[in-house]
């Protein structure tokens, strides 16, 4: 049985093969009939892009989707994640896509006999977001080796940052961080810490991350305007970026905080391209975990 829980166990060659599968997917919008297969989407945290792109990927693959509304489920009566997931397996679901506020939630689901895709676990990992980010960078630069990626913002609480730093390092990128000192995490393995002004000037990819206010436990360090002035991509900083540098952000975007609103759809922005790539990547991931006949991903993937 194949899962996608974290990219830490995936060799670089296997990641590259999945990205190739996603690129092939981008050239086709046709549905592929996959037989009588159903994927349950269990989202215990709010989501727009991840949830919707998984649903779109399922639609384009010809899969049935079952979407659980946690706020109207037996979770509100105290049902455990395991029992909820086991119920989905019992009623006939063939795979689960799960987002949960607990880090490494999947460790409590070892009793399941159907594949699990991690759609974000607290401040731990977000493997499918990382894969779509990798695809976006690959489309732009053709490789990862020596590409300077600066990840900016609330690094400590960002599962996107954590996953991207680890895999980008393994793929040969040069990874730096910038942001408030209190929100930087020196355990991530980034090569250097930059000021935001240095980041704007040096980055090939300036990857902004959302301020994770819901994980700050009421701690309010900056006003929106103050954060933008000190740590955001302002119009002035954007003018100092390299000619071919790109802007990325996993979204949702706090306009006027992490980035000036006018830059979200600027020529160098790839924010909406990332969202498009999310559907292609998640199609490839579903093909992988469900071992669909028309998938071309190597069976050695685990």
End-to-end C-alpha distance for the chain, whole angstroms = 8
Say if residue 251 carries a ligand binding annotation.
yes
Contacts of 27 (CB under 8 A, 6+ apart): none
Say if residue 20 carries a ligand binding annotation.
no
Name the nearest CA neighbour of 287 among 10, 16, 22: 22
Q: Residue 276: which H helix or E strand, with range?
A: helix 271-290
Q: What is the DSSP letter of 123?
A: T
Bridge partner residues of 193 (DSSP): 177
Say if residue 129 carries a ligand binding annotation.
yes
Say if residue 210 carries a ligand binding annotation.
yes
Name the nearest CA neighbour of 178 among 197, 162, 163, 164: 197
Say if residue 86 carries a ligand binding annotation.
no
Helix/strand/coil for 125: strand
The answer to whether the CB of 205 falls within 8 A of the CB of 245 is: yes
Say if residue 162 carries a ligand binding annotation.
no
Name the nearest CA neighbour of 258 among 219, 213, 228: 228
Say if residue 49 carries a ligand binding annotation.
yes
Say if residue 99 carries a ligand binding annotation.
yes
Burial 255-266 (b: 16+ CB within 10 A, else e): eebbbbeebbeb
The answer to whether the CB of 84 falls within 8 A of the CB of 99 is: no
The answer to whether the CB of 175 falls within 8 A of the CB of 144 is: no
The answer to whether the CB of 119 falls within 8 A of the CB of 128 is: yes
Residue numbers belonging to the annotated binding site: 49-50, 77, 99, 126, 129, 159, 210, 251-252
Residue numbers belonging to the annotated binding site for carbamoyl phosphate: 49-50, 99, 126, 129, 251-252
Residue numbers belonging to the annotated binding site for L-aspartate: 77, 159, 210
């Amino acid at each position: 049985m194949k899962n996608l829980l974290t990219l830490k166990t995936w060799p670089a060659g296997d990641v590259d093969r999945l990205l190739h599968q996603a690129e092939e997917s981008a050239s086709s919008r046709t549905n592929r009939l996959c037989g009588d297969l159903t994927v349950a989407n269990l989202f215990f945290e709010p989501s727009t892009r991840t949830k919707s792109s998984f649903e779109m990927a399922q639609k384009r693959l010809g899969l049935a989707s079952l979407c659980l509304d946690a706020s109207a489920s037996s979770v509100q009566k105290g049902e455990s994640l395991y029992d909820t997931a086991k119920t989905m397996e019992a009623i006939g679901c063939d795979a689960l896509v799960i987002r949960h506020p607990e880090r490494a939630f999947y460790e409590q689901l070892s009793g399941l006999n159907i594949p699990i895709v991690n759609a974000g676990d607290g401040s731990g990992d977000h493997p499918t977001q990382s894969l779509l980010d990798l695809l976006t960078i690959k489309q732009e630069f053709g490789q990862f080796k020596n590409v300077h990626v600066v990840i900016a913002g609330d690094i400590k609480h960002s599962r996107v940052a954590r996953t991207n730093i680890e895999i980008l390092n393994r793929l040969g990128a040069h990874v730096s961080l910038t942001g408030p000192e209190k929100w930087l995490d020196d355990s991530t393995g980034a090569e250097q810490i930059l000021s935001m002004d240095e980041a704007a000037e040096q980055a090939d990819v300036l990857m902004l991350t959302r301020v994770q206010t819901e994980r700050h436990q009421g701690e309010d360090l900056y006003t929106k305007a103050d954060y933008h002035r000190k740590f955001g991509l302002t119009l002035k900083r954007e003018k100092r970026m390299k000619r071919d540098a790109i802007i990325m952000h996993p979204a949702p975007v706090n306009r006027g905080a992490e980035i000036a609103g006018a830059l979200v759809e600027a020529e160098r922005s790839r924010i909406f391209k990332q969202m498009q790539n999310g559907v292609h990547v998640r199609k490839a991931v579903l093909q992988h975990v469900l071992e669909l006949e028309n998938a071309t991903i190597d069976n050695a993937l685990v």
